[in-house]
């Protein structure tokens, strides 16, 4: 397949790019400058110089693809507006194309909110404020499905692996001898290894009939305190752990603090139905490996 990918140098997008290339697919990756273009080219993709905020810079490349995969997230205060424009552009490109058969949109499990029982893809939504704008975008993508266009939304859990992401921040803090936990730490994070997550994108893209919502998490139901304790054992020196009250964290981090404090138990039956089975199912159980991945990422 020919894949058009946004966010190819981002945390999720890098893993997705690598997964499609490993599977033998051509990847046309949006890159906003020559440095980013060199990065994606080195990973085996064809760079498309352009910018999320300039639809004309990538609309033709999208229309030439077989599948459109949107993993990018603008990090400005206009992120919801930019994301909406990207959806508009990808849907318009698909409508004008004779080849596009699939659109995959990246959301996240924070749209579900805290769960009182295991939440699968049919669970009602009570989104964290930080991610509430994503709900309407999910609905737009899913409603755009036609007889010739499959649309899918993937909701990753908290991604781990390598040197980036929320778990990467915990590994960094452990290496710096002070880990801050938002709230009591008794809350559970739904987690997913970056390479396992990327495998799901490939499965959705290549599986005829794969459409709708897909959760992606390892179903380990690990408490934040257990994750922190395991990581601490592999730090250069045993770090101090400070539990930051939600109200205090909110003053510094805004709605992001509440998202980190969510207690979530999430299930991914629709992903498993595609044959998806995560290779890693625990952060705490793989803390030594993940610490080494983080160190290697900072040496490269």
The model's pLDDT over 11-35, given as tens digits with 9 standing for 90+, comes to: 999 999 999 999 999 999 999 999 9
CA-wise closest residue to 260 among 287, 228, 234: 228
Of the candidates 231, 205, 214, 208, the residue with the CA atom closest to the CA atom of residue 283: 231
- Helix, strand, coil shares of the chain, percent, nearest 5, are 45, 20, 35
Alpha carbons within 13 A on the beta-carbon side of 223: 8
The DSSP bridge partners found for residue 240 are 178
How confident is the model over 45-85, as pLDDT tens digits?
999 999 999 999 999 999 999 999 999 999 889 999 999 99
pTM: 0.96
- Which SS3 state, helix, strand or coil, does residue 119 take? strand
Q: What is the pLDDT of residue 116?
A: 85
Q: Which residues of the chain have pLDDT under 50?
A: none
Question: Residues 46, 27: contact at Cβ < 8 Å?
Answer: yes
Specify the pLDDT at position 73: 94
Q: In whole angstroms, what is the distance from residue 30 CA to residue 123 CA?
A: 33
Q: What pLDDT sits at residue 75?
A: 86
Which domains are seen in the chain, by residue range? 2-160+192-219+265-278 (3.40.50.720)
| pLDDT at site 300 | 60
Which of 31, 101, 294 lies closest to 17 in space, CA to CA? Answer: 31
Q: Which two tokens stand for residue 119?
A: 């939440």
| DSSP-assigned letter for residue 32 | S
């Amino acid at each position: 397949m020919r894949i058009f990918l946004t966010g190819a140098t981002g945390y999720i997008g890098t893993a997705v790019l690598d997964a499609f290339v490993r599977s033998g697919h051509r990847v046309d990756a949006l890159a906003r400058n020559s440095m980013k273009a060199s990065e994606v080219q080195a990973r085996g993709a064809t760079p498309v110089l352009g910018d999320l905020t300039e639809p004309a810079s990538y609309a033709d490349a999208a229309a030439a693809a077989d599948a459109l995969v949107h993993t990018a997230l603008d990090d400005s205060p206009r992120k919801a507006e930019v994301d909406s424009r990207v959806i508009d552009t990808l849907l318009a490109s698909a409508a004008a194309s004779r080849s596009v058969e699939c659109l995959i949109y990246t959301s996240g499990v924070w749209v579900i909110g805290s769960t009182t029982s295991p939440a699968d893809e049919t669970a009602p939504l009570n989104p964290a404020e930080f991610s509430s704008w994503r709900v309407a975008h999910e609905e737009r993508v899913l409603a755009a499905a036609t007889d010739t266009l499959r649309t899918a939304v993937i909701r990753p859990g908290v991604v781990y692996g390598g040197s980036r992401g929320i778990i990467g921040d915990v590994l960094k803090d452990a290496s710096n001898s002070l880990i801050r936990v938002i709230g009591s730490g008794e809350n559970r994070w739904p987690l997913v290894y970056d390479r396992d997550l990327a495998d799901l994108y490939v499965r959705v893209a290549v599986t005829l009939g794969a459409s709708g919502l897909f959760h992606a998490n390892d179903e380990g139901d690990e408490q934040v305190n257990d994750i922190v304790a395991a990581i601490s054992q592999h730090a250069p020196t045993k770090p101090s752990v400070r539990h930051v009250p939600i109200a205090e964290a909110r003053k510094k981090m805004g709605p992001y603090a509440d998202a980190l404090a969510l207690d979530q138990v999430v299930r991914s039956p629709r992903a498993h139905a595609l044959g998806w089975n995560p290779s890693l199912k625990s952060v705490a159980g793989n803390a030594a490996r993940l610490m080494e991945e983080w160190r290697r990422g900072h040496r490269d």
